[in-house]
Structure 1
Amino acid sequence: MPSKPRVQKISSLVTQLMSRRGYAQLAVGDDFLAMIGTTVGETLRSAITVGNVKKGVLHVYAADSVTLQELNFQKRAILKRIQTDLPDSAVTDLRFRIQS
C-alpha cells in the first residue's frame, strides 16, 4: 500500500526557504542600515556595512577608523533608535569593527 504524499502549508515552505537562503537576514540588515543611516547621516551610511545579530549584539563594520570613531560616539543614539523603531529585533548592544 503506497503512502500518501506529505502535504505542507505553503507558508511553512516559504519560511524554510527564507531561512535557508538567508533572505530574511538580508531584509533585516537593510532595516538596520536604514535606522543607522537616519541617525548618523548619509555620508557615514555609505561607509558602513551591517553584519549579523548574535546573542543580541548587532555587528556593524566601518570602512575606516574615522567612521568607527563617529559610530562609537553616536552608539547610544543608534541603539535607542533601533530599539524604538524595531522592537522585535532584540538588539541589546552594538559592536563596531573596521571592515577588512
Structure 2
Amino acid sequence: MRRIGSIVGQLISRRGYAQVSANEAIHQLMVMEVGSELGAGLQVGNLRQGVLHVYASDSVTLQELNFRKRGILKRIQQELPENKIKDLRFRIQT
C-alpha cells in the first residue's frame, strides 16, 4: 500500500501543477520589476536547461524587456533560487 503523500506528489508532477505555480511566481516578480504596464504584455513560458522563455505581446515590450534583462534575471535569481534560472530568452508571442 502506498502513502497518500506520495500519490499526491506524483499527481502534482504529472499534471504540471508545480510548474504553473512557479510560472505565476516568476510572472509576479517580473511585473514587480518592470511595472504593471509592461507586465501586462508578457507571458512566462517553459524553463529548459536553466533558460526561461518569456513571450512579449509586441516589439516595444520585447525591446524594453531586453533592456531590463539583467535586473529581471537578478531579481528572479535572488527571490527564487530553487528554480536555477541562468538566462532569460525573450520572444514575440505568435
Bin the TM-score by the shorter chain.
Answer: over 0.9
Q: Determine the structure 2 residue equivalent to 1:65.
A: 59
Q: TM-score, normalised by structure 2?
A: 0.97
SS in 1 for 2:53: strand
Confirm or deny that 1:43 pairs with 2:37.
Answer: yes
Q: Which runs of 4+ in 1 moved over 2 A?
A: none
What are the ranges of 5 or more consecutive residues in structure 2 without an aligned counterpart?
none
**Paired positions, count:** 94
Q: Percent identity?
A: 55
Q: Determine the structure 2 residue equivalent to 1:17.
A: 11
SS in 2 for 1:8: coil
Q: TM-score, normalised by structure 1?
A: 0.92
**Greater Rg by CA:** 1
Task: Give the superposition deviation at 1:15.
Answer: 1.1
CA distance in 1, matches of 2:75, 2:4: 35
Confirm or deny that 1:97 pairs with 2:55.
Answer: no
What are the ranges of 5 or more consecutive residues in structure 1 without an aligned counterpart?
1-6
Question: 1:18-70: CA deviations, max 9, x gaps?
Answer: 11111111000000001100000000111100011100000000000000000
Two-structure CA RMSD over aligned residues (Å): 0.6
Q: 1:26 aligns with which of 10, 14, 20?
A: 20
